[in-house]
Amino acid sequence: MGIEDDGLATAALGRVHSRQYHLVTRTQRPAMRLLAVVLLAPVLVAFPPSSSSLQAQGEPVATVSPRNSRLRIERLLRDTPIIDGHNDLPWAIREDRAAPHDVEAYDLRKRTSGMTDLARLKAGMVGGQFWSVYIPGERNDPAYVSQGTSASMPGYARVQLEQIDIARRMIERYPELVPANTASELRAARKQSGRVGSLIGMEGGHAIENSLGTLRAYYDLGARYMTLTHNVTLDWADAAMDAPAHGGLTPFGEEVVREMNRLGMIVDLSHVSPGTMSDALNVTEAPVIFSHSSARAITDVPRNVPDSILSRLPKNGGVVMVTFVPGFVSQAVVDWGRNAEAAQRAARQQPGADSASVAQAMDRWVAVNTRPRATMGDVADHIDHIRKVAGADHIGLGGDFDGITETVLGLEDVSTYPALFEELASRGWTDVDMRKLAGDNVLRVLEEVEKVSARLKTERPPSTKTIQQLDSPRP
């Protein structure tokens, strides 16, 4: 089931559409679905914050009143609004039960059923957003139901174009969402109070269907980053949550990175294997991002970034945009999930076990093993660690709102970013470093990616290489 060592409950903390982990899917047998329901029962007990929240880098923190701290953060974020790396609102619109795919019906001027709307973006002091146009990588996902004999199978490009269409119509509908295809446009939008510079980020290289021409078409439609994989290993790149097939990137995968550099499309290394991360850093001429990942040294799951990769970011200039996925930021949540998975296996091995008896056993187990909640302090621990290993120039935020079914305590929606900055201020963070985190770092990455693109376009034409040419076995 491709989850490595993370466990069932950690999977349950992922996404409605099985985006982070594909362990519990809509096609699995009823016993698994029943167990998933048991494990998803809410337990509103907070896991205590770590002691590192009391100090930053070993230095005592001066006492500051909560009111003064709030005022400080409000001033800082007015001048330097948040630029977030990953929000799944376009998929939430597609999947909305009341009016699926309907941008007009999913009214952002009202409080939505999800985690994002205009009022909460304003309260969260968000000035820039990469809207993810995620599509599933699993070929049997319901998104790819047959559209007739003339439609391609499974339909990656079709669904990708539909998601780009949703994102573009959403941005066009609201004056508060300002289209921003360049760093200068993002910078200008960010300076306008109450406006959100809006960019599009693709999540999963399967969408290009092994075609560099398709990649270029997506760029022309507004895609400004592409996550090389999602949860499924591709013909040309290994994913973190799937079995490796290539040891990283194939020659065609390297050509994808080179063509992204030439286009001015940011290479996003969230979701990919450490081998793919390393290979991409070897090939790229421009800074990379991790649009929604955290530190593996703090929470040991495959979706996070190892220190060996973090230590290479100063040379590359890239940025890790720390995510708020509970199963990626809390080791306690991960360990609970692994223990729950072990309890499930034990229950299944009992004589005469069936789905009902397994569910009853898990009910008893959950009753005496309280499920922890990830906290804002956990997220701050990841930010602190990445600053320590990679430096303050290489951190950002990628909340993954509207792409998760459970949230970090204190970071429940897009209105809560200022609270995280208050936590960091209490740890001794300077205004300079917090401005970098808020968005200056990722804005710098976009500017540098554009500079590299301008140079490369004078040096080489669009690539016409194919996967057959580069990856076919040599005679």
Q: pLDDT, tens digit, for every residue of 181-233?
A: 999 999 999 999 999 999 999 999 999 999 999 999 999 999 999 999 999 99
Q: Which of 6, 88, 176, 255 is catalytic?
A: 88
Q: What is the pLDDT at residue 23?
A: 30
Q: Which of 206, 230, 382, 385 is catalytic?
A: 230
Stated as kind and residue range, the H or E segment containing 322 is strand 319-322
The amino acid at 260: M
Beta strand pairing call for 288-293 and 177-179: unpaired
Q: Which of 141, 268, 400, 413 is catalytic?
A: 400
Q: Which of 84, 176, 203, 378 is catalytic?
A: 203
Give the lowest-confidence range in 88-97, 139-148, 334-343: 139-148
- Rg from Cα positions in the chain: 22
Q: Is 230 a catalytic residue?
A: yes
Q: Is 86 a catalytic residue?
A: yes
Summarize pLDDT for 98-145 with one digit per residue, the tens: 999 999 999 999 999 999 999 999 999 999 999 999 999 888 888 888
Q: What percent of the chain has pLDDT over 70?
A: 85
Q: Is 203 a catalytic residue?
A: yes
Q: What are the distances in angstroms from CA 243 to CA 2, 232, 233?
A: 7, 8, 7
Angle, CA of 322, 324 and 330, to the nearest 5°: 100
Q: Which of 17, 206, 271, 394 is catalytic?
A: 271
Q: Is 385 a catalytic residue?
A: no
- Asked whether the predicted pLDDT for residue 24 surpasses 50, the reply is no
Give the lowest-confidence range in 26-35, 252-261, 295-304, 430-439: 26-35
Q: What are the distances in angstroms from CA 89 to CA 165, 290, 412?
A: 13, 19, 15
Confirm if 417 and 126 have CB atoms less than 8 A apart: yes
Question: Which of 384, 372, 272 shows the shortest CA–CA distance to 322?
Answer: 384
Q: Is 88 a catalytic residue?
A: yes
Q: Rounded to the nearest 5°, which phi and psi values hold at 246?
A: -130, -10
Confirm if 112 and 119 have CB atoms less than 8 A apart: no
Q: Which of 246, 292, 382, 385 is catalytic?
A: 292
- Asked whether the predicted pLDDT for residue 85 surpasses 80, the reply is yes
Place of tokens 């995620």: 134
Summarize pLDDT for 223-275 with one digit per residue, the tens: 999 999 999 999 999 999 999 999 999 999 999 999 999 999 999 999 999 99
Q: What is the pLDDT at residue 56?
A: 40
Fold observed for domain 42-330+372-471: TIM Barrel (3.20.20)
